[in-house]
Chains A and B, each alone.
Chain A
Amino acid sequence: MELVFALVIGALTASGVYLLLRARTFPVIVGLTLISYGVNLFLFSSGRLATGAQPIIGTTDTYTDPLPQALVLTAIVIGFAMTAFVVVLSLRSLADHEDDHVDGHQDAKAPQPEQNEEGTGK
């Protein structure tokens, strides 16, 4: 179980980091989400992996640490809010620049679209 768990965390984080380094906002956001999944699983495992154990002493023979579960829950809530915000922000950036490049445009030397402040109607 530990090996599978570790491989899953590794795969999630590796693909997340790869996507985070892309130049378009959508892969970046997906990458951030994958990283946060990997991080949440990692945080969960910091209380040691156990099967058939409950986080309440006395209900089963062994018990599992409840604190990492509480930490993961907090991290999930915060991560969800942050992801929602960054999605809206990247849509705003797309609308402002008509390009979903993370720098707002492909290349500083590339020809810029006509900058017509009034005409775009946004």
Chain B
Amino acid sequence: MKQAPTIKAALYMKMVTLCALVTASVLMVNQTAFAIELSKQQNQPVPAGEKPVDPYVQSNDNAGATPMTDDTVYHQFGGMDGISRIVDDLIDLSSKDERIEGIFRATDLVRLRRTLKEQICYILGGPCDYTGRDMKESHKTHGITMMEYNALIELLQVAMEKEGVAFRAQNKLLAKLAPMYRDIVLR
């Protein structure tokens, strides 16, 4: 009779310890997941010549369009070499166009060149991953208007023409990019 409370107390202590252990391990797992998430965001190396950006989670979902199911159009664009020339031309043209040069002055063009090439390559079904931010996040500070958005489309058409991309293939890319106005055009 005298021992009963001791057993009860011991049992109670064991239960408390178990609970504490479970809680601690759950917390630790959570913390580990959080730490991994954090390191994914914070330990992204800043490529040479680029300015750091606020942490974000990298994902092809950030590209803002579903990629084409095969690489036909990617090859019609001349693969990564063609895409690269088109993006370089587009950025050069945009930086000189009075309608939108202000937006490009306020942009890290080294980073834009890299991420835009990745984005177009990924969307056209090429062997690339998009590592940039999503369209809403990457454009939120620019206050872009519909006129500015259309100006960029016009300059992209000029760059694609210069590269000799067939008009129908040009339109296939534009069809993928056009709906992004919902995240990009803010006023």
A and B are partners in one complex rather than unrelated chains: no
Q: Could you tell me which A residues sit within 8 Å of B by CB distance?
A: none
